[in-house]
Amino acid sequence: MAHAAIHLQPLFVFLIGTGCRLSEALDLEWSDVDLWGARAVVWQKQGNQRRIDMPPCVIDWLKRIEWREGHVFRPVTQTRKGSVIGERYHNSARQYGGQIKNGWAGACRRAGLPGRLREWIPAGQTSLQSCFVPDFTPHDLRHTWASWHYCVHRDLLRLQTDGAWSNINTVTIYAKLMPEAYKDQIERWWREGPHVGNAN
């Protein structure tokens, strides 16, 4: 979180605090967010809607977003004249991802997380290009959320429902067993979130 661009920090908090898929988060609109009720409605790729509960830290970080209409999470481009806020991330109809690839890779690289350097020479050019490819992906935040959820609640059926998985086998792929000693830290994170970036 500390190494992410400021406009990506609320998105990362949302992902790790709710277990949403990146595609669900990027499609989320303010009309489907109830900050007072701590709930949001996200849409799955099958066209089904599901309600998610948002812990206090997610509410706090969503309140820091300056706009309240249209898409909640938006791309920000830096230009010579300042920041330009887009209307939404590219809509791929959920056929592929990559909308936050550069921002994610940059955050992982700056944080010192593992990865590899990919090098290539683009067609028609002679100079070598390179980029950092992290070992982790944004989808790993859903795995983290599932592991945290099970550590706190110890309830596979509740986790299956909250994560909108079709069967228990998939749930067991996502949730890893953690020592119960982490329960208090997880609950504190859900209350307070990360103390980084644009925190008040």
| Residue 49 structure tokens | 């809607």
Give the chain's residues under pLDDT 50.
198-200
Nearest to 100 by CA among 68, 66, 129, 73: 73
Q: Are residues 88 and 147 in the same domain?
A: no
Helix (H) or strand (E) holding 102: helix 101-111
State which residues form the domain around 61: 1-100
At which of 52, 79, 100 does a domain end?
100
Here the tokens at position 67 are: 């706009």
Asked if the structure places residue 145 within a domain, the reply is yes
Alpha-carbon dihedral sign for residues 56, 58, 63, 64: positive
| CA-based end-to-end distance of the chain | 15
- Phi then psi for residue 83, to 5 deg, are -85, 140
Asked if residue 152 and residue 72 are part of one domain, the reply reads: no
Within a domain: 197: no
- 89 and 158 assigned to the same domain: no
Total domain count, the chain: 2
Model confidence pLDDT, tens digit, residues 37-76? 999 999 887 778 999 999 999 999 999 999 999 999 999 8
Task: Encode pLDDT of 71-91 as tens digits.
Answer: 999 998 888 888 888 999 887
